Structure 1
Amino acid sequence: MTSINRFIDFNDELIDAGERLRLERLARALTGVADLGLTERQHIEFRPAYNELAMSVFWRHRDPVVTELGRLSDLYLLAAGFWSRFDLAVWGEYRAATETNPLREFLRSAVLLLEELRITDEVMAERSGTAEAFTLRRQLYGEFHKGQQPVNLSRGFRADALFNHLYAVIHGMPDDYASSEEELAGLVEPVLFHVFDARSTADSVRVAERLAPLLYGRLDRDLHHTYYAVGDGLTGPKSDFHYHRGTRDREKGESGKKDSVGELFSTWHAANRSEKGMHLNYELEHGRIGEGDGSGAREGREGTEATSSGRGRSSADERTGVAREAGSEAISAESGSWKKAEGFGTANESVVYREMLAEVDNSTEALERILKWREESVPHVRAIVKEMQKRIERKKEERREGLPKGRLSKNPVSVLLTERPRPFYRKQSPSKRLDAAFGLLVDGSGSMADKLDETKKAVLLFHDILRSMDTAHGIAVYQEDSAAATKTRQPNTFRWLHRFQDNGKDDGKRILQLEAGDDNRDGFAVRWMTRRLLQRPEAHRFLLVFSDGEPSAFGYGQNGIVDTAEAVREAEKQGITVIHLFLSSAPATARQQELFRMMFGNRSVSAESIDRFSDETLRILRKLLVLATGNM
């Protein structure tokens, strides 16, 4: 049983969100791309379709200094090296030329190996501060390949053993290094003299072309392992649309070759951004063969609503395999219009979202529950409202002394004793209401099902206190539809339980309609509520997040943790205080506490049990109200 738990913990490994964001900012600075993302994969990699770079997991579980320098070397190589120094046109031609070669993976990997050497030397010459990271990189990767060579030979992987030899020799292993693959090592040795003369991608390709005839007939199999992924995915933009065959043929050859990775990223991302607007979907996915006459063309705008709907053949959902009718998600005024997420972070570029107003529960059972919960909480509501009113009144009576104008102070002696006297005072301007706005986000994922009653009770208490104080607040439940989510479209819904503009309206009957849905995309939800709070005129803005775990949505695992942490930091930079309440039937574990600290900093609290939700909500709200009144 112990071994199973260890296995699960290893595969559910936490990332340090703060460190990831720091490295992401470095990647953005080196490339000049403001919204570039960063992730981890088996090998370093460019992912233009996702507008992100990938570091290698090779550096995990090492000494912290080694991990830091190793990851820096990944970023230097990708963002300061391959980004602008790798010739995509030459690479594309070579990939095409070796498509039918039985040793194509070896030859392609050899080019990338030579390019790593050339580009590393160029970056170190231009940026001397990168030398320490690159030196460590060469040492550890050299040791890795040196150790792997005899292992590959024992398994009959001669191509892999030769590649291990090439890396060890080219990247400067000690003089006492001896290859276990003596025959082929001696055969390719003359070619290696030209490696250090390479000044471009084309030069590296020519060296690989000299290797090819030497290996013909001597290697019966290609590489068994993958050593480089940096060249994958660099073949040009791909559309997210499913083009009908009549239009697909017309698209061939329209995108020109890009000279650098940076230009490819720019073109790819610009193309994706331009393909917005619902007016494109029907014609491209359901149109007939042939050209349109262009008479109905109009410029697309983000958020444009559908003016017509179509019904096509059913197709299986990518995740569930369950058939859905094309056009089944028709937009109506009742359900809210779907909008494309723009400016919500790279992790949410494929998100579409809608806002809905929750229904009112007029059932007798709902009314009885509201009355019961309010009877239990009324002493707490009265106490906190009375306390806040006293604080506000006390603020009104405070005097501001030492002013250049106003009412004359009762002790004007300072006029005679100071060179520039300020003998006037003023009373604080009276305030009719607290100058603060509160946004509450409630996790609507499926795991909330067993906590709904206590969550509703806590949300109702939150609503009643702020309503009694005539304080602006908005309450929304957020969730992602897991059954409909695909790589190119992740539908999210925000259901308003109480809107900011509703002011003192009693929305207790809507709060009782809080339901559990599917997944939760926390970073996206934080950014969504942040935008609404920034539109408020109040001086103090607070954002509370009630959730029962970590982010979980389509393609939103570890990068969801980073995205949430970044969203929280962005909100706080704009003056919004973010507080997280962990809703659970048991105290948070050490792992959960560390996770929440990464995402929400030191502003994350947890209830010890389900029946403590309301108590924690009351405690948090009281502290925030005291903070707001103290800064009036």
Structure 2
Amino acid sequence: MEEDPRGLFQDLFRRITRRAARRPYHAFTTAFDKEIPADLLGELLGALKTEDAATLDDGWRRVLADRQLPETVVEASDRILRACSAQDLADTVVTLLLDHSGSMRGEKILHVGSAVDRIQRLLTGLGIKVEVLSFTTSTWHGGKSRFEWIRRGRPADPGRLCDLLHIVHRDGDDARPLADDELRRMLRPDLLKENVDGEALTWAARRIRQRPERRRILVVISDGASVDDATLAVNPPDYLVKHLEQVIADIIASDDIVFTAVGVGDDIWPFYPYGAKAEDPARLTGEMLGLLERLLTRAPADA
């Protein structure tokens, strides 16, 4: 009796799918990925469209009107100074890693910008080194990476299929807080595209591990899971999430970084195991402040 060719095809398809799912995470190409200082964003992205420029101007006015450090920040600073020695603070570095995905448009990114501004000023004033990084993609829908995949004949199991953009807004060796123009760049609406969190976390962890400080704290500020349409269209639907989970597990297991996250509006706990959540983005500064105070006032061995 002949076998049903449809059954053979289905079995082959299942085996190929399982094999592809087991293949380690990879990028189809890294040739179009970029890591740049924020002052080169204008050169990379070009002039803002009229609508985006108006959105940025309006958002910037709102941030400027709310830049005074609230009393809660001043009080937290005093408590941290009483609990920590100057030597401990000088031997601490904090990396703030911002999710610049499209879902952060509008109120979320404004509150993130305002919170990051206040927190980095607080930390700098305490003598703590601060890095401010963010991650997104250079374009929508895969960009040059996807075009290269098409040019090569659309091979199966391409892996990550987009052009990463990693941005250094503030280097850890910079002794001064973010200037106005540096903070304003962080709010550009055309920055907010797609997000590959796992590789961004790997990048941020690598940078903080290169720091000389004994205590290293990495804080992710995000509103959800990794999403890149071009990648997910040709890979298993959990491809990016599984990689993110593995990166998080590796960082936690390494035990050389205090790793935590702050959720902006949405629940991030399926991906990040602990931290804080601001259900109302307007409360983000307070949630970040409470989280960092708890981490900083622990004994270094317990952090």
- 1:620 is aligned with what amino acid? L
1:432 offset after TM fit, Å? 7.3
Aligned to 1:223: 6
| 2:162 pairs with 1:482 | no
- 1:582 is aligned with what amino acid? G
| Aligned with residue 231 of structure 2, among 547, 555, 560 | 555
| 2:246 pairs with 1:566 | yes
- 2:272 is aligned with what amino acid? F
1:58-207 matched pairs, under 5 angstroms: 159-160=3-4
SS at match of 2:279: coil
Aligned to 2:263: 582
Q: Deviations over 1:16-64 (max 9, x none)?
A: xxxxxxxxxxxxxxxxxxxxxxxxxxxxxxxxxxxxxxxxxxxxxxxxx
Q: Deviations over 1:283-311 (max 9, x none)?
A: xxxxxxxxxxxxxxxxxxxxxxxxxxxxx
- 1:461 is aligned with what amino acid? R
Aligned to 1:456: 113
| 2:98 pairs with 1:442 | yes
- 2:37 is aligned with what amino acid? L
CA distance in 1, matches of 2:167, 2:15: 44
CA distance in 2, matches of 1:364, 1:519: 23
Aligned to 2:284: 613
* Distance verdict in 2 for CA 1:442–1:350, change over 3 Å: same
SS at match of 1:228: helix
CA distance in 2, matches of 1:369, 1:624: 30
CA distance in 1, matches of 2:300, 2:178: 24
Aligned to 1:350: 29
* Distance verdict in 2 for CA 1:346–1:610, change over 3 Å: same
SS at match of 1:502: coil
Indicate conservation of the 8 Å contact 1:565/1:598, yes or no. Answer: no
Could you say what the CA RMSD is over the residues aligned between the two structures, in angstroms? 3.3
* Distance verdict in 2 for CA 1:509–1:365, change over 3 Å: farther
* Distance verdict in 2 for CA 1:610–1:364, change over 3 Å: closer
- 2:283 is aligned with what amino acid? R
1:454 offset after TM fit, Å? 1.0
SS at match of 1:552: coil
Indicate conservation of the 8 Å contact 1:435/1:628, yes or no. Answer: no
1:161-560 matched pairs, under 5 angstroms: 222-223=5-6, 226-229=10-13, 346-348=25-27, 350-352=29-31, 353-359=33-39, 371-375=64-68, 377-393=69-85, 431=87, 433-450=89-106, 451-480=108-137, 481-483=139-141, 484=143, 485-486=145-146, 487=149, 489-514=161-186, 515=188, 516-553=191-228, 554-556=230-232, 557-560=237-240
- 2:29 is aligned with what amino acid? S
1:30-49 matched pairs, under 5 angstroms: none
CA distance in 1, matches of 2:125, 2:301: 19
* Distance verdict in 2 for CA 1:482–1:456, change over 3 Å: same
SS at match of 1:542: strand
Q: Structure 2: give runs of 5+ residues left out of the alignment.
A: 43-55, 150-157
* Distance verdict in 2 for CA 1:467–1:366, change over 3 Å: farther
Quick check: which has more Rg, 1 or 2? 1
1:525 offset after TM fit, Å? 0.5
- 2:264 is aligned with what amino acid? L
Q: Percent identity?
A: 18
Q: Taking CA–CA contacts closer than 8 Å with sequence separation of 6 or more, which of the two structures ends up with the larger relative contact order?
A: 2
CA distance in 2, matches of 1:555, 1:577: 30
1:503 offset after TM fit, Å? 2.5
- 1:528 is aligned with what amino acid? W
CA distance in 2, matches of 1:349, 1:507: 37
* Distance verdict in 2 for CA 1:432–1:517, change over 3 Å: closer
Q: Structure 1: give runs of 5+ residues left out of the alignment.
A: 1-102, 107-158, 161-221, 234-260, 262-268, 270-344, 394-429
- 1:457 is aligned with what amino acid? S
Indicate conservation of the 8 Å contact 1:462/1:621, yes or no. Answer: no
1:365 offset after TM fit, Å? 7.8
CA distance in 1, matches of 2:10, 2:61: 64
* Distance verdict in 2 for CA 1:605–1:358, change over 3 Å: same
CA distance in 2, matches of 1:606, 1:511: 23
* Distance verdict in 2 for CA 1:391–1:354, change over 3 Å: same
CA distance in 1, matches of 2:73, 2:84: 17
CA distance in 2, matches of 1:435, 1:498: 18
CA distance in 1, matches of 2:243, 2:92: 27
1:530 offset after TM fit, Å? 0.4
Indicate conservation of the 8 Å contact 2:225/2:271, yes or no. Answer: no
SS at match of 1:503: coil
SS at match of 1:599: coil
* Distance verdict in 2 for CA 1:527–1:349, change over 3 Å: farther
- 2:277 is aligned with what amino acid? S
CA distance in 2, matches of 1:367, 1:469: 26
Q: TM-score, normalised by structure 1?
A: 0.37
CA distance in 1, matches of 2:299, 2:207: 19
Indicate conservation of the 8 Å contact 2:275/2:291, yes or no. Answer: no
SS at match of 1:562: helix
**Aligned pairs, number:** 259
- 1:558 is aligned with what amino acid? D
Q: Deviations over 1:80-115 (max 9, x none)?
A: xxxxxxxxxxxxxxxxxxxxxxx9xx6xxxxxxxxx
* Distance verdict in 2 for CA 1:517–1:379, change over 3 Å: same
- 2:140 is aligned with what amino acid? S
Aligned to 2:46: none
CA distance in 2, matches of 1:475, 1:378: 21
SS at match of 1:373: coil
* Distance verdict in 2 for CA 1:357–1:578, change over 3 Å: same
1:609 offset after TM fit, Å? 1.1
Indicate conservation of the 8 Å contact 1:381/1:464, yes or no. Answer: no
- 1:358 is aligned with what amino acid? A
Aligned to 2:152: none
* Distance verdict in 2 for CA 1:570–1:503, change over 3 Å: farther
* Distance verdict in 2 for CA 1:223–1:505, change over 3 Å: closer
* Distance verdict in 2 for CA 1:508–1:576, change over 3 Å: farther
Indicate conservation of the 8 Å contact 1:446/1:518, yes or no. Answer: yes
